[in-house]
Structure 1
């Protein structure tokens, strides 16, 4: 299966209310968070889109939501409606240290009977760092039309593979991959992680 069948998706639809300013636009070192994320995705696939409802991007297509206030699932739905790739590799704009190695590991678990591959780390599922097959689009559309918004609820309705096999990657790299930056305090922590060796 070629890399061309995979679309990298940055979900940038949150309001950044806890941060108080746009998380994606913050600098870590001299690089914007959004640019750090898309740079890593670019090492995995040449097909990258950003889900957000404002502004444009110089390098990547912007796809706006079709459902109001539908959260991450609304972003995944919008991208699947717009794009033709078979698989959609998801990340969010509050994860500045995503790891290409983690995503390559997830991609190795693609199988035709799996609708989603969701990593599990330290006992928690991470659906916004997962891989989804476009075949879920009808189920996802109906789910959103019924007013449901919870990602976990959708995962119960489709054939989800919960992946705990991240043993080949240093735990420190995996931990940074799943690091979320939603508050000013977490932004300070991200700056510390950068100084301590995060790429």
Structure 2
């Protein structure tokens, strides 16, 4: 089963004040950190963003098909893209009936790990559900989830019907929800799904990253 990676970088960063994707933690921007994480577990990486943005990124950028329509528009853009890739590949191999996945991540989660994403993608490949999504504190994390291309029609129908709330649209496709018992072992310090939404959040994340780098350096001495 193929898993394609997508960085969702189309948000307005209104509360943050500047473009979160370009916020630097350590020696990398959040866009770089997220893209490299995806590259470690996915066949390829694509950025979903407003038209014309991130032209110098090391991965291809596709324009959000529904700019201004919130995260659901970006998710649908990724699903259309992965479906187009799948259709092109199936013309070469008509016997292939697999359903590729899009691992979709927002670029404001600085403490996600490769180990957790590998667990998530392995779970998706083994699942019969169309969406595999963690639940944290009673809320789903759709921008840290695996979406099968087979979910696109149901999500598109919800969108075309006026729905813009991701958690509601997801109910139209089969879901496997990963609860705390599934992901807790990957969350060693309670920050795995932590979102960087404001400038204060950024400063906190920067301090944590600096402390981690400092501890790693001291251990290496």
Residue-pair matches, total? 194
Pair 107,150 (structure 1): closer, same or farther in 2 beyond 3 Å = same
Render the CA deviation track for 1:118-142: whole Å, top value 9, x for unaligned.
1123333211111110001111211
Provide the rounded CA distance (Å) in 1 between the counterparts of 2:148 and 2:14. 31
Provide the rounded CA distance (Å) in 2 between the counterparts of 1:190 and 1:181. 7
Alignment of 1:179-198 (within 5 A): 179-197=194-212
Query: What is the match of residue 81 of structure 1?
Result: 80
Query: What is the match of residue 121 of structure 1?
Result: 136
Tell me if 1:14 matches 2:8: no
Judge conservation of contact 2:4–2:101 (CA < 8 Å) in 1.
yes
Q: CA deviation at 1:70?
A: 2.2
TM value normalised by structure 1: 0.89
Render the CA deviation track for 1:66-99: whole Å, top value 9, x for unaligned.
2242211111111221232510111101112221
SS in 1 for 2:77: helix
Q: CA deviation at 1:9?
A: 0.8
Query: What is the match of residue 92 of structure 1?
Result: 106
Provide the rounded CA distance (Å) in 2 between the counterparts of 1:122 and 1:132. 21
Pair 131,31 (structure 1): closer, same or farther in 2 beyond 3 Å = same
Provide the rounded CA distance (Å) in 2 between the counterparts of 1:167 and 1:29. 26
Provide the rounded CA distance (Å) in 1 between the counterparts of 2:212 and 2:138. 25
The structure 1 segments of at least 4 consecutive aligned residues displaced by more than 4 Å after TM superposition are none
Judge conservation of contact 2:3–2:121 (CA < 8 Å) in 1.
no
Q: CA deviation at 1:150?
A: 0.6
Q: CA RMSD in A?
A: 1.8
Tell me if 1:136 matches 2:151: yes
Q: CA deviation at 1:46?
A: 3.4
Q: CA deviation at 1:147?
A: 1.4
Judge conservation of contact 2:79–2:147 (CA < 8 Å) in 1.
no
Pair 170,76 (structure 1): closer, same or farther in 2 beyond 3 Å = closer
Larger Rg: 2
Provide the rounded CA distance (Å) in 1 between the counterparts of 2:203 and 2:6. 26
What stretches of structure 2 of length at least 5 have no aligned partner?
87-99, 217-221
More displaced stretch, 78-87 vs 150-159:
78-87
Q: CA deviation at 1:167?
A: 4.1
More displaced stretch, 108-117 vs 188-197:
108-117
SS in 2 for 1:108: helix
Task: Pick the aligned partner of 1:31 from 28, 31, 46.
Answer: 28
Q: CA deviation at 1:101?
A: 1.1
TM value normalised by structure 2: 0.81
Render the CA deviation track for 1:33-57: whole Å, top value 9, x for unaligned.
1111111111112310111013224
